Amino acid sequence: MLSNEVKEKLISIVTKANFDDSKIERLVYSYDATPNFQSMPDAVVSPRNAEEVSQILKVCNEYGVPIVPRGSGTNLCAGTCPTEGGVVLLFKHMNQILEIDEENLTITVQPGVITLDMIHAIEEKGFFYPPDPSSMKISTIGGNINENSGGLRGLKYGVTRDYVIGLEAVLPNGDIIRTGGKLAKDVAGYDLTRLFVGSEGTLCVITEATLKLIPMPETRKTMLALYQDLNAAARSVSKIIANKIIPTTLEFLDQATLKVVEDYAQIGLPTDVQAVLLIEQDGPPEVVERDITKIAEVCKQENAVSIQIAATEKEAMALRTARRAALSAVARLAPTTILEDATVPRSEIANMVKAINEITEKYNLTICTFGHAGDGNLHPTCATDARDHEEMERVEKAFSEIFEKAIELGGTITGEHGVGAMKAPYLEWKLKKEGIAAMMGIKQAFDPNNIMNPGKVFAKDSKKRVVITR
């Protein structure tokens, strides 16, 4: 627990109304969306501006109190679980859109802004912010930045990092710095903006962000390609890209996912095929028409058994909704849902899906696989029950083998979910000891007292869902 001295200092900064160390409030913020991770913070603090954040960090740095910056807690890597107690920082007061600059095509926001609220504000003015994490209805921009969130449109438009061009950030010692800005070109010094994006709150607290906008695409079309052969679906993905077409969305759903989504959404999805590709293209009408026609030809050449092009925006919306509903649909199968994240080169998608299916059968589990086929980012999702310890041990072993297979195929342990505490035990498999050491050097330089979200990213010995030996 916090000492009375620290408690009084924090209250003097934010007022009593914005400091809460009651058991109920601490319990609420003891976990995030990652199953089977929970740890109580010592207090929950809600600063009202960057200056208050600065003062809070000075106090915590002096007394060695851990700081956990938190958005809506939608992350899936236990990145905001306060594994070492300390103070959870909430940004409910720092939730304003500060500026939409139509001349420079930027928007400046505070970290507590809900992602979808910001997107709606932009679209009203005819602009487009492409990153679209599935959690965007409730996730915050600050959380998106800390986790470098992706989404369905990542193949064509990139991820959050590609749109953050300036930050206001508070360092662990309380210094407030600004990085980047509204410039298209800026090579003055180290690129701290890109360093902070995806740093998971381990280096600083982000208090303001300037994001790049682009013009809204004129039109878009959506199609489904159905396959009885996983390899044919994977070949289609590679061949589409090889034809110099970069779709907005190129999503993969396996048969298990199709069945649960259709049972959930009731929109007429086929459930008698092995795989489906959900493909969307946007841009000028003539370009979209040409690309969709060519994509359909490629899919037919690769033995797609059926191709369906949405005739109306309503039909297209239903298809997009079906993909976004995949997690919710799988979650209905069992009390605990574990959504994972492994990325491989596009050419290895079929091999990865095959390996996931074999591992699923080996450990007698229910794992549905869907994801962003265009960038090789797959989401094997397990429906299980955390109360069944024997099954959870099988789940842990299965995912360990899945991550190992992804790395073997030239991939990575996480494409967009982050490392947090959950993936920390696997990070060395990807980066090796030398890579970890280099990152530790950066961490030590910014945060010598290790108060910024400790127990994340670097903690090889972090608690997994179930402790296993390898």
The residue from 417, 449, 464 where one domain ends is: 417
Judge whether residue 351 has pLDDT over 70.
Answer: yes
The percent of residues above 90 in pLDDT, for the chain, comes to 82
Residue corresponding to tokens 């306060």? 82
User: 30 lies in a domain?
Assistant: no
Q: State the total domains in the chain.
A: 2
User: 103 lies in a domain?
Assistant: yes
Residues 167 and 249 in one domain: no
User: Mind listing the pLDDT tens digit for each residue in 210-247?
Assistant: 999 999 999 999 999 999 998 899 899 999 999 999 99
pLDDT band at 459 (very low <50, low <70, confident <90, very high): low
* Arithmetic mean of pLDDT, 345-356: 91
CATH number of 171's domain: 3.30.465.10
Determine which of 26-40, 309-323, 413-427, 453-467 has the lowest per-residue pLDDT on average. Answer: 453-467
The model's pTM: 0.92
Judge whether residue 325 has pLDDT over 90.
Answer: no
Dihedral angle, C-alpha 458, 32, 91, 105, nearest 10 °: 80
User: 312 lies in a domain?
Assistant: yes
Residues 258 and 364 in one domain: yes
Output the pLDDT for position 322: 80
User: 357 lies in a domain?
Assistant: yes
Residues 143 and 198 in one domain: yes
Write out the residue range of the structural domain in which residue 377 sits: 220-417
CATH number of 338's domain: 3.40.462.10
Determine which of 11-20, 136-145, 256-265, 316-325 has the lowest per-residue pLDDT on average. Answer: 316-325
**Which tokens hold the place of 356?**
């996931």
Residues 278 and 409 in one domain: yes
Question: What is the Cα–Cα distance from 463 to 37, expressed in whole angstroms?
Answer: 8
* Cβ neighbours of residue 312 closer than 8 Å, sequence gap 6 or more: none
Question: What is the Cα–Cα distance from 149 to 116, expressed in whole angstroms?
Answer: 13
User: Mind listing the pLDDT tens digit for each residue in 69-122?
Assistant: 999 999 999 999 999 999 999 999 999 999 999 999 999 999 999 999 999 999
Which of these, 286, 292, 303, 165, lies nearest to 230 by C-alpha position?
Answer: 303
Judge whether residue 468 has pLDDT over 60.
Answer: no
User: 456 lies in a domain?
Assistant: no
* Arithmetic mean of pLDDT, 301-317: 91
Output the pLDDT for position 184: 85
Residue corresponding to tokens 């200056």? 51
Residues 192 and 232 in one domain: no
Residues 154 and 206 in one domain: yes
User: 19 lies in a domain?
Assistant: no
Residues 191 and 243 in one domain: no
Judge whether residue 28 has pLDDT over 70.
Answer: yes
